[in-house]
Amino acid sequence: MEGQDVADRVRRRIGAAIVARVAGPPDPARRRLAGEGWFAADRPIRRVHADASMFAGGITALLLQSLHPLAMAAVAGHSGYRGDPWGRLQRTSYFLAVTTFGQAGDATEAIGRVRAVHQRITGTAPDGRPYAASDPRLLTWVHIAETDSFLRAHARFGAQPLDQAGRDGYVADMARIAAGLGVPDPPRTQAELTARIDAYRPELAATGQARDAARFLLLHPPLPLIARAPYAALAAAAVSLLPHWARHELGLPRLPVSEAVLIQPAGHAMVHAIRWAITAPPASRIRKPPTRR
């Protein structure tokens, strides 16, 4: 039992460090994630967003989203992803948590805050075209790239991958959030999602800003030295989830043998390790303090 207690303490410490990095320090005022929300407990969105595969899917989503030159220009000009990458991650993580698991009022409030921020983000891309974060076409691209990436990650690395009905249900669940953000007629099945992404292909390209962002995400993440190797395995797994055409645009090589033999098993191992760390030990192993006599 003593060895198991040590393992559980290590699990809690690692899990707390991961959660603090991704979600920020504990803040009870922001984390009312129980009560009547938009999605019932058995909805696919809850299964996907609670799974550790999101750690890989999040990196995939950022890489895929960067391929729209106007969306990438808005990120480069306004998101502060280089100066405050963890702050941006924590804000995104909170938004996903509150809209998926939170009370309905909190989810609606979070949607309103994001829409207000989008209204203030305008500018001109390096190619001279104007952009606005509230542009429905850009909102749609960001949404479908994110949805597709999370679904791909869960299908490959999730603890309980969804069947076809579940995948369609996940896309439909995400459509509810997207509609709140201003996405017109978001896709509601996986087939519609794939068709919508294909329709964007002619306007996608890896700009210098996109390649800079990829280098930052994959090669120069702001992490302590001890975390670099685990992150590299997770990042490689995230790259393996990208559609082939997206990898080609970003200049990321496809090595089928290495991916099958090394990258995918390492990705599974990393996601499993994260899942182990952030999952509470079984109640049967939690030792109760001795009763005083």
Q: What confidence score (pLDDT) does residue 288 get?
A: 46
The three state secondary structure string of 222-277 is: CCCHHHHHHHHHHHHHHHHHCCHHHHHHHCCCCCHHHHHHHHHHHHHHHHHHHHHH
d(CA 237, CA 241): 7
Quick check: helix, strand or coil at residue 176?
Answer: helix
Element (H, E) at 135: none
Q: What is the mean pLDDT of residues 8-26?
A: 57
pLDDT tens digits, 160-191: 999 999 999 999 999 999 999 999 999 999 99
Phi/psi region, residue 85 (left: phi>0; alpha: psi -120 to 50; beta: rest), is alpha
The dihedral through the CA atoms of 179, 180, 183, 187 has a sign that is negative
Stronger pLDDT, 255 or 108, i.e. the higher one: 108
**In what helix (H) or strand (E) does residue 152 lie, and over which residues does it extend?**
helix 136-157
Give the pLDDT score at 292.
43
Is residue 44 within 8 Å of 163, Cβ to Cβ? no
Cβ atoms of residues 141 and 73 within 8 Å: no
Judge whether residue 279 has pLDDT over 60: yes
Tokens of 255: 């090595």
pLDDT of 87 over the 90 cut:
no
Average pLDDT, integer, range 29-58: 84
Q: Taking 60 as the threshold, does the pLDDT of residue 19 lie above it?
A: no
Single pTM value for the model = 0.86
User: Residue 23's closest CA among 35, 34, 12, 15?
Assistant: 15
Degrees, nearest 5: CA angle 286-291-293: 170
Average pLDDT estimate for 231-235: 92
How far is 223 from 76, CA to CA, in rounded Å? Answer: 20
Domain-wise residue ranges, the chain: 2-26+43-284
